[in-house]
Amino acid sequence: MEIGRSGIQIDLQNLLAIYAYANTPSYLYRRMRADQSLINLARSIDPKELIQLYNDHIKKDQRPIEDTVIGYSLLVTITLLNNHKLASSLLQEINPKLLEWGERIRQIYESEATPNSIQIIQIPFEPPQINKESKTETSTTIKTIPLGTS
């Protein structure tokens, strides 16, 4: 389903199903964090737009269940941002208490968030220098192992 003006896609059917089965904030938080559409959203969305969308869907007097699920989804999307400091400040900027389990989800995130930094270092291969003027004799030993017989 598309939400917002800039064509943001989330898998609302899956998120509604998670919400319907959720009996604890922890369950809702963990299952929504595994939703691929929210993982993709966290990679691409502008944080300001995220807050705007959250406010648009949550600050209604009588909101349909879809808006509540979108609210939780956006809250969880904040926790999926690859920057703990930014996520913490966004969670303070929005009001998670507008959702019944919002504040509990924020607490779970804060208690479990340990920042990770990952580097990949590829060491360039340097072949050993061979002196072309020197002659070396090489010999190859081929070891033949007979196949097992019964």
Q: How far is the CB of 62 from another protein (least distance, A)?
A: 32
Q: How far is the CB of 53 from another protein (least distance, A)?
A: 22
10 Å Cβ neighbour count for 110? 13
**43 lines the binding site for another protein (CB under 8 A):** no
**145 lines the binding site for another protein (CB under 8 A):** no
Mapped onto helix, strand or coil, the DSSP state of residue 8 is: strand
> Which lies closer to another protein via its Cβ, residue 61 or residue 121?
121
Which element (helix H / strand E) includes 91? helix 84-93
Length of the chain: 150
**Quick one: tokens of 17?**
């199903």
User: What is the Cα–Cα distance from 82 to 90, expressed in whole angstroms?
Assistant: 13
> Which lies closer to another protein via its Cβ, residue 61 or residue 112?
112
* One residue of 13, 44, 122, 150 binding another protein per CB under 8 A: 122
β-pairing verdict for 2-3 and 8-9 = antiparallel
Q: How far is the CB of 39 from another protein (least distance, A)?
A: 7
Chain residues binding another protein by CB under 8 A are 30, 33-34, 39, 80, 83-85, 88, 112-126, 128, 141, 143
